[in-house]
Structure 1
């Protein structure tokens, strides 16, 4: 009987340690520098973030073509915001987490987008950003510092409000 309660006590202590550990910082936090990463775009060109877009305010959106929670219409909507604010230094960056297949017809609807569309085939960059669910979006300022984060889906107005506060 004593051995059994000893194991229970040990299990309870381990659960408490794990619970405390899980509530600590996970992923990027506001005021953290963005990770330095390199990813291919859908044409095979490597883009280095945030260096290649230094001096720009970035809205980095992690999503997946197969994600049922990701609003695919948000990507064309971000194009409209890009056109509206690009002269002020705003650039959205869409990062698809998963395997890209250019033969998949579902990609056709995104061909007209002019902002960076990158591919994180193995999810390594998403992990470096601390993404635990998709979609997740980050606003990174002109110096490469995280200034905002939205976990889950949001409306276009929320995105615009978030990045324009950093842009201005």
Structure 2
């Protein structure tokens, strides 16, 4: 019985959804690790892979290098990866980023306003936004190989 409950919960937490009824991605402006402000609405025309993460989340940290590789591969095609740290105190996140360098922007949602707007319920959560600012895919959780699902979503949006 315990394994059944675990399977049900894991299936819910580690799920991927292609959104059939696209919704407008909530706009936001957040400060980046470099100190500049980034605003989502100013990125129209690009595909955005928005990854919500925390330094206490093992799968989040495991996913970072895969996201960095994805960002490097698809940047020339108009795809941006943004990492949104959801911790109110980002000291641990900054320490992690000193050890594990990534080239994509890291933003800080220390008031959790953006994560609430996106209804983030699991760590990590990855939201894929199309060129028109519509949410097109939602992925909760991470296991090695999930980045291939993100890549499939990106390729699908690039073909549109």
Q: TM-score range by the shorter chain?
A: 0.7 to 0.9
Map of 2:26 onto structure 1? 35
Which consecutive residues of structure 1, in runs of 5 or more, have no partner in the other structure? 1-27
Residue in structure 2 matched with residue 61 of structure 1 by the alignment? 51
TM-score by length of 2: 0.78
Q: Which 4+ stretches in 1 moved above 4 angstroms? A: none
Question: Which structure 2 residue ranges, 5 or more long, are not aligned?
Answer: 1-18
- Alpha-carbon RMSD across the aligned residues, in angstroms, is 2.1
Per residue, is there more strand in 1 or in 2? 2
Equivalent residues in 2 for 1:107-118, closer than 5 Å: 107-111=97-101, 113-118=102-107
Q: 2:42 aligns with which of 24, 48, 52?
A: 52
Q: How far 1:105 sits from its partner (Å)?
A: 3.2
Whether 1:100 and 2:90 are equivalent positions in the alignment is: yes
Q: Residues of 1 paired with 2:51 and 2:129: CA distance?
A: 11
1:52: Cα distance to partner? 2.7
Aligned length: 138
Q: Which has the larger radius of gyration?
A: 1
2:154 alignment partner in structure 1? 163
Distance 1:149 1:104, change over 3 A: closer
Match of 2:111 in 1: 122
Change (3 A) 1:103 1:147: closer
User: Partners in 1 of 2:73 and 2:91 — Cα distance?
Assistant: 30
| CA distance in 2 between partners of 1:30 and 1:123 (Å) | 25
Give, in whole Å, the separation in 2 of the partners of 1:30 and 1:67: 30
Out of 88, 106, 110, the residue aligned to residue 77 of structure 2 is 88
